[in-house]
Structure formats: C-alpha cells, structure tokens
Amino acid sequence: MGPVRLPRPQSELPNLNVSNDQGLLQWISTVDHKQIGVMYLLFSVLFLCIGGLAALLFRIQLALPNNNFLGPEMFNQLFTMHGTTMIFFVLTPAILGFSVYFTPLMIGANEMAFPRLNAFSLWIAFFGALLLYFSFLNGGAPDGGWFNYAPLNEKQYASGNGIDYYCIGLLLGGIGTTSTAINLIVTILKCRAKTMDMRHLPVFVWMVLVNSFLILAAFPAINAALCMLLLDRQLQAHFFDPSMGGSPLLWQHLFWLFGHPEVYILILPSFGILSEVFQVFSRKPIFGYKLLVGSGIVIALLAFGVWMHHMFAAGLGITINGFFSASSLLIGVATGVKIFSWIATMWGGSLRFTTAMMFACAFLVEFTIGGLSGISFAIVPIDWQLTDTYYVVAHIHYVFIGGSLFGLLAGLFYWFPKMSGRMIPERNGKIFFWLFVIGFNMTFLVQHALGAMGMSRRVYTYPDIPGYGTLNFISTCGAFIMGMSVLYLLYLLMKNKRHGKEAPGDPWDAYTLEWMTTSPPALKNFGALPPVFSERPFRDLKTERLGKKNIN
Amino acid sequence: MIKLVVGTEALFFVVLIFGYVYFAFNPGYSPQALRLLNIRSTGMFSLFLFSSSFTYWRAEVNFDKGKLFRLKVWLTITILLGCLFLFGQGREYFNLFRENLIVSSNLFGTSFFTLTGFHGLHVFIGLIMLSIVLLLAFLGDFDRPGSSVIGTVGIYWHFVDIVWFFVFSMVYVLPHFLKQ
C-alpha cells in the first residue's frame, strides 16, 4: 500500500485570513487545535500559580500551632479556592489541552471535527474561571470546600455571594468541558486516517475517547445540582434546606455521582500519556494493548458504581456500605492491570531515563501509594476512623499530583519539543524532577501520619500536641520546595522556548503519527499519511524504510 | 454530535426527575400533585406537544421527497403547536401562582417548577431552532437535498417530546394511580 494523500480542504480554514504577525489577535481569534491546546495549557499554568499561591498561604498558617497568620474566614476561602481551582481550572484544562492538541495529530487528522466549538469551549471555561475569582472582589470567595456540602452552602449559612460565583463559574466550566468532550468523540470517530481502524488507535486516543464519554455521563449530575443550589440561593427553593424538608444528602449524592467519575476523568488521559511514554522510552511496544484499553473502559464503567464510598460516614446502612465497599475494591483490580502492563512494557526493554521517563517511573511509585491509601478508604471501619482527617488530604494529593500531574508532566516533557520546536536540556529537566518529587513527598507523606494521629482537615489551626507541630512544619517546608520547583519549571519552559536547542521532527525515535510532522507542526498537520496497520504507524513506517531512503 | 448532546441532556433530566420523585415520595406520594394539578387541561396541551413530533416527522418526510412547500407548512404547524404547549404551561403556572404555589412555597413547588421549568426552557430553545430552520427554508437553503440540518433539529425536538412523556407520567399521571 502506498501513502494515502489527504484531500485539500474545500474551503480555507477559517482563521487563515489573520496573518501570523498580528500576535495576540491571532491567538485570540484562532480556531486551530494546536494553538487552542497551547492556550489550554497556559490557562492551566496561570491557575496553577494562583491555586499554588493559595496553598502556600495556608501552609504558612498551618506551619506552627496556634498560629494566627490568616484567621478562619480567609483560611476557609483559600482552601476552597485552592481545591476548586486545582481540579476544575488546572487539571481539567491541562488534560483538555493535551487532548485537543494531540488527538487530531495522533489519528492523522488536520483539525478537530468542530474547530469553532473548540475555541468556544476554551473561552467559556476561561471566563468561568475568571468569574469564580471575581468573587474575591465582591463579598468574598466561596468558603464551603471544593465539594461545598449542603446545608453549609445555603443562604442562611453562607450569606455572601461566594457560593453563587462557585455555581456559575463551575456551570460555565462544565459547559466548556462537555462541549470539548463531544468535539473529541466526533473527531475520534469520524476524522481518523482512512486506514486507521479502532483497534489501531494509540492508547492515549483510546483513553481520551473513554474519558469524553465519562465527561458526558458525569457532568449532568453536577450541572443539575448546581442549578438546584442556585435556585435555593436565589429563589428560596428548598432542595437542600433541611428546615423545609429538603435533603442535604441529595447534594452529596449528586455531587459524588459526578465527583467520583471526575477523579477518573482527571486520571484517564494521564494513563494514556504514560502508555505512550513507557513504550517509546523502553524502545519496546506497549505490553497488553487490549488489557490497557479494556481496563480503562472498566474503570469508566465502575466509576458510576462507587460514589457512595465518599458517604460512608453519612450513615446509609450496612448493606449500602458493603456494596460500595466491594465495588470500590474492584477499582484496584482494574488499575492494577494497568500498573502491571506498564511494568511489563519496561521489562527487558532498553530503557532511556529522560525526564519524561523519570516522571513516568515516579508515577508508578507515587500513584501506587495513593492507590493503596484509597483501598484503605474502601474498607468502611478504616474510613470511619480516618474520614475528614489529613489522611484524606494526603490520599487525594497522591492521586491528583502523584497520579494525574506526574502523568501530565511526563507528557509535557515528552511533547514539549513537538509543541515548541525546542528541546529542554535533560540536566535541567532532572533538577526540576528531583526538586518536585522531594517537595511533593515531603509535603504529603507526613500528612498520612498526621491523619492517623487524628488531625482534622479544614480547621484553620491546631493545639500544640506532640508531633503535630514538627510534622506540619516539615509539610510546609515541602510545599515551599514544590513552589520553588514550579517557578523553576516556568523559567525552564520560557527560556528554552526562546533559546533552547532546535528540536528535530522526531527527537525520541517515537511511534505515533504526531512525530511525523515538523516541530512545531505546520498549520496543516499532514499532507500525506502512511497506511496504518497497527497502533504504532510511524514506527512501522520507519522499520519498513530501513533499507529504502525515500523518506518523504 | 446531536445524539451526544441529547444523551448528556437526557441524563440531566434523569437527575431532575429523580429529584422530583425523591421529594414527592417523602413519605407517601405528595397529595398536592392531585389537589393542585389539572391533568385534563395539561393533558390537552401535552397532546399538542406530542402531535408536534408527528408534524415534524411529516416535515422531514416531505423534505426527503423534495416537496418544499409542504415542508414549510408542516414546519409552521410544528412551531404553532410548540407555542400552544408553552402557552398552556404559562397558563398553568399562572393558576398555580394564584393558588399561592411558587418555587419557595414548599418542596412540591420547588421540585415541580424546577422540573417543568427546565423542560419548558428546552421547548423554548427548540422553538428558536425550529424558527431558524423555517427561516432557512424560506431563504432557500433546503432547495437541494442533502442538508443534515432538518434531521439534526428533529432529533432534538423528538427528544424534548420524549422527556415530556416521562415528566407527564411522573408528575401528572402517577398520582392518580397511587392515591388511596
């Protein structure tokens, strides 16, 4: 089979009439999936800094016992904004950024299925985030925690405007996420290279596809809950108001019916990124392609059967607790399959420890720790003992940072040459890696112990109990190391974007189609595509050509 | 694409219907549904909405056959039926307001107005879409076959109809079967 020529588009792409030298205007008006992907990542980095700053502030407050640096009101607002920002406006845009940048490239498409919708999704989510932060100027930020339990979120108990901004900001962000999910599904199903079978999708694209369906199924629950909450607050409805017979439990059900799938929404694309990173840097095809894809689908399905494990302490009865305990333990099986697939991919491979690969290996360790503390929460008596302590905080950060973020950082170091056309020197990348890993573990490993000792989360200060002060101080120091490492990362990215060594099209000797393009890819991604007969089309092409020399 | 939109919208309504049922059965079925809601008049207006699905289907068939005049006629009838339904809903709300039932009165008011209100909003959005389709038909956009617009809008309009079937059964019909 010869290469497949792509047809020329019937009409010019809509953004072509703005020329490149118009700078900012060109970025704002763009509908190109690569530029939108980059803007998603910048959006994510901006809010990473803001959310991280909030975290540093309340870590200062917690560094010493009986501290009065912030005071309870500010502390509540900061931890709420930290959680909400990091989940909805850092991790979500980061996964969407990689998804819209690389999905079309990996399936041999020149654009998303709906380019304008793509731009709309980015901007509505961005303005949702701005609206959420506007609350600081108008009577104080939301202060009910990121899951914002009823009846604390009701007008009687939270009389400021913060929670209203929370509702509207998250609704707008949800609209953006949902429409991107629709866009990605249609792109993957309809815009693949002609010869690319569904069995030949790279694992990353499979995970994006599964993830998009998960988004479509999970977000309606929170959107409905947020609408109900807005009605409660603005029109004095009584959905979550116990004094009029409403049910605070309904909020918990709806929130976690969304919230648990949401944590998988944030991790599945990372799983996809890691599957690419492991195989390329082990110089060995991925082990168990079908197992990896299958376990991803299983995780997505199980996600809707485990939400009540967030509510064991709500007193739902032995039967319900038992059922949800068992279903939550099952998740461990599906995730374990993935971990073993990755280890088996490395087994016997010729490993290259680049920064991306180091993040992937660190992921295996950190995510397993997070997974094990998660398993301990699936066991009801342990959950009752540890719920609402720092053990939960440690767990959620081990899965969000040690899981999602490490995967995303592996992706960043893997794809940075493709996106910017420049290399990051490995030495500098590794300095960042060690700073970040040490800071992260210093911050959160000790919090397991604090939780087991009974320190409750979300309380602005604590008495001088033996051990508390020391451990909290270590945690605060770790947080500052993490903060510094993020600054160092920003410096690395900016410096190497300008002055880094120029990257060739395929610096890692990689397997998938995005590496066939120039670095960075031209506005039109592909002119011609090789025939696809596995999930590693570029590798097949290179091995086939070893004897021939007609490379493009 | 529209099927994915409709799918995620359907889950949104599942949550709202769940919320309504959750409060209506707490404990026993809320007697207010029987006392305040007039199943006859709402049933009549519901028939208008259900038949608008039929008329839209006729519009789709005529579009496929290339009969443009009939397409416009059936589209107009569909829009009129949708407007009649919304008029019926407005009239019902007005009567309930006179009985002092508003969103903040009690849980029945809260969940009833939220569920039917969100459905009404979707009908309204559907009417805007239908009006655009009619306008495009008059501007000659559908003179040649092959446009997917009519089929796409159709999926949404039939969906709004099906949602009302479930809402109507849950809110208006079910209490009559459950009364002691």
Report the pLDDT averaged over residues A179-192: 95
Q: For residues A150 and A395, which has the higher predicted lDDT (pLDDT)?
A: A395
d(CA B101, CA A285): 65
Decide: helix, strand or coil at residue A5: strand
The count of residues in chain B is 180
Choose the closest CB to B103 out of A181, A231, A247. Answer: A231
Choose the closest CB to A220 out of B8, B19, B106. Answer: B8
For residue A14, is the peptide bond before it cis, meaning its omega torsion is within 30 degrees of 0? no
Closest to B75 measured CA to CA, from B4, B130, B6, B9? B130
d(CA A192, CA A111): 11
Tokens of A214: 């998960």
pLDDT score for B104? 87
Choose the closest CB to B15 out of A113, A221, A237. Answer: A221
Contact between A220 and B14 using a beta-carbon 8 Å cutoff = yes
The DSSP 8-state label assigned to residue A316 in this structure reads -
Confidence of residue A7 (pLDDT cuts 50, 70, 90): low
pLDDT score for A350? 92
pLDDT score for A1? 45
Å between B4 CA and nearest CA of chain A: 7
Closest residue in chain A to residue B20, using alpha carbons only: A239
Tell me whether A337 touches chain B (CB under 8 Å).
no
If you search the block for the tokens 């995620």, which residue do you land on? B8
pLDDT score for A244? 85
Q: If DSSP states are collapsed to H, E and C, what string results for A454-513?
A: CCECCCCCCCCCCCHHHHHHHHHHHHHHHHHHHHHHHHHHHHHHHHCCECCCCCCCCCCH
Q: For chain B, list residues with pLDDT below 50.
A: none
- For domain B2-25+46-178, the question of CATH label 3.30.428.10 is answered with no
Whether the per-residue pLDDT at A510 is higher than 60: the answer is: yes
| Interval A490-501: pLDDT, tens | 999 999 999 999
Contact between B107 and A227 using a beta-carbon 8 Å cutoff = no
Tokens of A337: 């399959």
d(CA A117, CA A114): 5
Contact between B7 and A216 using a beta-carbon 8 Å cutoff = yes
**Who's near A37: CB < 8 A, 6+ residues apart?**
A97, A98, A99, A100, A101, A102, A419
Å between B108 CA and nearest CA of chain A: 9
pLDDT score for A159? 86
- Whole-structure pTM value: 0.92
Give A 210-229 residues with CB within 8 A of chain B. Answer: 216-217, 219-221, 223-225, 227-228
For residue A520, is the peptide bond before it cis, meaning its omega torsion is within 30 degrees of 0? yes
Cα-only R_g, chain B: 18
**Percent of chain A topping pLDDT 90:** 80
Confidence of residue A552 (pLDDT cuts 50, 70, 90): very low
Write out the DSSP string of A378-432: HSHHHHHHHTTBHHHHHHHHHHIIIIIIHHHHHHHHHHHHHHHSBPPPHHHHHHH
Confidence of residue A456 (pLDDT cuts 50, 70, 90): very high
pLDDT score for A10? 57
Whether the per-residue pLDDT at A15 is higher than 60: the answer is: no
Output helix, strand, coil percentages for chain A, rounded to the nearest 5: 70, 0, 30
Q: Flag the least confident range among A92-101, A169-178, A179-188, A520-529.
A: A520-529
**Domain map (residue ranges) of chain A:** 30-541
pLDDT score for A531? 86
Chain A CB contacts of B15 under 8 Å are 220-221, 224-225, 254
> What pairs with residue A389 in β-bridges?
A456
CATH code that applies to domain A30-541: 1.20.210.10
Residue A462's alpha-carbon distances to A55, A122, A395, A448, in angstroms, are 17, 41, 21, 17
Mean pLDDT rounded to a whole number for chain A: 91
Could you give the angle at which helices A162-190 and A203-235 cross, rounded to 10 degrees? 150
φ and ψ at A294, to 5 degrees? -60, -45
d(CA A132, CA A140): 11
Å between B109 CA and nearest CA of chain A: 8
Confidence of residue A546 (pLDDT cuts 50, 70, 90): low
Tokens of A402: 């040690």
Choose the closest CB to B4 out of A216, A225, A250. Answer: A216
Å between A154 CA and nearest CA of chain B: 14
Whether the per-residue pLDDT at A181 is higher than 60: the answer is: yes
Whether the per-residue pLDDT at A202 is higher than 80: the answer is: yes
**Who's near A232: CB < 8 A, 6+ residues apart?**
A154, A155, A238, A239, A240, A241, A246
Whether the per-residue pLDDT at A252 is higher than 90: the answer is: yes
Residue A372's alpha-carbon distances to A13, A256, A398, B25, in angstroms, are 49, 21, 10, 40
pLDDT score for B33? 78
Q: Flag the least confident range among A89-98, A137-146, A284-293, A395-404.
A: A137-146
Cα-only R_g, chain A: 23
User: Are A333 and A283 within 8 A, CB to CB?
Assistant: no
**Domain map (residue ranges) of chain B:** 2-25+46-178
Contact between A238 and B5 using a beta-carbon 8 Å cutoff = no
> What pairs with residue A502 in β-bridges?
A422
Confidence of residue A19 (pLDDT cuts 50, 70, 90): low
pLDDT score for A527? 85
Complex confidence, ipTM: 0.91
d(CA A453, CA A86): 27
